[in-house]
Amino acid sequence: MKSLELLVERIILSSRWLLVIFYLGLVAALGLYGISFMYKLAKIAGMVFVYDDAQMILAMLGLIDAALVASLIVMVMISGYENFVSRFDEGDAEVSFLGKLDAGSLKIKVASSIVAISSIHLLQIFLNTQQYTDQQLMWATIMHLAFVVSAVLLGYLEQIMNGLKKK
């Protein structure tokens, strides 16, 4: 019976390597998103003398939004691999921040990134209020507030958990 138990444990532990497929998929998605970013940047560069201030601000907010999404993808890839698959053997100095990213702090960083992305999206909506109905504005605001409340609650729960760990 003990040998069966050891076999099951080995299978379960080895299954974590299946996560690599998802992380490599995120690498590919990040590459595609980078191409999309460069296309948007080239489009904005071509319109730099045509856009008025409001249009340029909206375009820059779109680029900032893309950078935040890309950073979120990198954060999930690196910390997910480090936490769930294997430690990085090389480049310890390059990824020294990883020791500080456990599952709880990763959730908070992801939630904070989502709030930042949502904030930029909401600002873009508010700068173009004429294109949206009052109901669309209301729902966008409610969704953003839901993200904010979720992030605050996650932070609060993490603080409680850290307090319990210290005891």
> Residue 101 pLDDT > 70, yes or no?
no
Q: Indicate the number of domains in the chain.
A: 1
Q: What would the mean pLDDT of 5-14 be, rounded to a whole number?
A: 92
Q: What would the mean pLDDT of 98-107 be, rounded to a whole number?
A: 66
DSSP annotation of 89: S
Q: What would the mean pLDDT of 11-39 be, rounded to a whole number?
A: 95
- The whole-number pLDDT of residue 145 equals 96
> Residue 118 pLDDT > 60, yes or no?
yes
Say which range, 14-18, 92-96, 152-156, 161-165, has the weakest mean pLDDT. 92-96
- The whole-number pLDDT of residue 93 equals 62
Kindly indicate the confidence band of residue 144, based on its pLDDT and cuts at 50, 70 and 90: very high
- The whole-number pLDDT of residue 21 equals 96
pLDDT tens profile 35-93 = 999 999 999 999 999 998 888 998 999 999 999 999 989 988 988 888 788 877 765 66
Q: What domain range is 6 assigned to?
A: 1-92+99-165
| Mean pLDDT of the chain, nearest integer | 87
Percent of the chain topping pLDDT 70: 90
- The whole-number pLDDT of residue 84 equals 83
- The whole-number pLDDT of residue 48 equals 93
Rounded Cα distance between 62 and 53, Å, is 14
- The whole-number pLDDT of residue 127 equals 86
